[in-house]
């Protein structure tokens, strides 16, 4: 059964902000300066440090899963713990699965936002944690900012029994679909048209929404769409962005090596569709 990363049912994420402090049973998430998370991995499951395992003075509440609180360590303490090591979110993606992996991705999204916004973009003052909501507030001018979410589209372009499969020139090495970030002033549908044209030179029609996915690795909200090639389907690939773009028959599509992504879900959906 295909399960993308956010499908953690019957487990439940509660992302409402609570001004709380951790106890010894709560999870304490520690990231280093490079965004690597302090974890133990066993049998493809992630284990997090708890307040009993590590002593940290500064934390901020993140969220809870099944009423189990997760806190982010915001201090500079260096800790050691048997069996634990710092892992990148890309490593966690390859080495683990399940609810804990989704929690790690979501925590990384928040850590990245906190790390990138230490200073006020309005006056240059130092930002501090807001006392009652998920926000940062400047200690000098009082300016308040909220976590950033980057909307992006994933596009399954169809021509008969074939799907437009791509591979990025750098970064993720496996099969993908056309994708890109929304620009200011665009609708999601206009982003679909623009990204497909820019990356492959193909016009599209009959754009229809499929489903969405929070993707903390890149601080994205991914919006999945299917559409059809409109007219000439000859590919004119953007070689700066892609190293591969081809029409692939549904019987020949090679899926990604895990079932975490909306992209893989969409490829599977197309392969199984009548």
Asked if 13-116 and 150-272 have one fold, the answer is yes
Which residue(s) pair with 242 in the sheet? 168
pLDDT of residue 258: 85
168 bridge partner residues: 242
Q: In the chain, what are the domain boundaries? A: 13-116, 117-147, 150-272
pLDDT of residue 75: 86
Please list, in sequence order, all residues whose beta carbon lies within 8 angstroms of the beta carbon of residue 221, skipping any fewer than 6 positions away: 149, 150, 151, 152, 212, 213, 214, 215
Strand partners, 41: 46
> Which residues share a beta bridge with 178?
155
Q: What is the pLDDT of residue 170?
A: 83
Radius of gyration of the chain (CA): 21
Which tokens in the block code for residue 87? 């892992």
d(CA 250, CA 175): 13
Whole-number pLDDT of residue 1: 45
> What's the confidence (pLDDT) of residue 217?
86
pTM of the shown model: 0.91
- Token code pair at residue 149: 């979410």
* Cα 43 to Cα 176: distance, rounded to the nearest angstrom: 28
| Regions of the chain short of the pLDDT cut 70 | 1-2, 274
For the domain covering 150-272, report its CATH number: 3.90.79.10
Strand 150-159 to 162-168 pairing: antiparallel
User: Which CATH architecture does the domain made up of 13-116 adopt?
Assistant: Alpha-Beta Complex (3.90)
Residues near 252 by Cβ (< 8 Å), separated by ≥ 6? none
């Amino acid at each position: 059964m295909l399960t993308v990363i956010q499908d953690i049912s019957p487990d439940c994420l509660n992302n409402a902000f609570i001004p709380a402090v951790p106890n010894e049973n709560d999870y304490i998430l520690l990231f280093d300066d490079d965004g690597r998370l302090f974890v133990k991995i066993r049998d493809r499951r992630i284990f997090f440090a708890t307040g009993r395992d590590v002593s940290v003075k500064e934390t901020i509440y993140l969220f809870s899963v099944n009423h189990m609180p997760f806190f982010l360590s915001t201090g500079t303490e260096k800790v050691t713990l048997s069996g634990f090591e710092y892992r990148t979110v890309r490593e966690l993606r390859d080495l683990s699965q399940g609810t804990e992996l989704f929690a790690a991705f979501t925590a990384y999204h928040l850590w990245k936002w906190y790390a990138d916004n230490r200073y006020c973009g309005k006056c240059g003052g130092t930002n501090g944690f807001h006392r009652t909501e998920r926000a940062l507030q400047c200690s000098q001018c009082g300016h308040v900012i909220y976590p950033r979410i980057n909307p992006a589209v994933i596009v399954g372009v169809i021509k008969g029994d074939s799907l437009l499969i791509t591979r990025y020139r750098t970064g993720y090495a496996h099969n993908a679909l056309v994708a890109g970030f929304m620009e200011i002033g665009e609708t999601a549908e206009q982003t679909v048209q623009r990204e497909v044209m820019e990356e492959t030179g193909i016009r599209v029609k009959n754009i229809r929404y499929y489903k969405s996915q929070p993707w903390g690795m890149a601080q994205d909200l991914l919006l999945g769409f299917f559409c059809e090639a409109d007219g000439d389907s000859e590919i004119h690939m953007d070689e700066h962005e892609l190293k591969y773009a081809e029409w692939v028959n549904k019987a020949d599509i090679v899926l990604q090596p895990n079932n975490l992504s909306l992209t893989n879900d969409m490829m599977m959906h197309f392969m199984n569709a009548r």
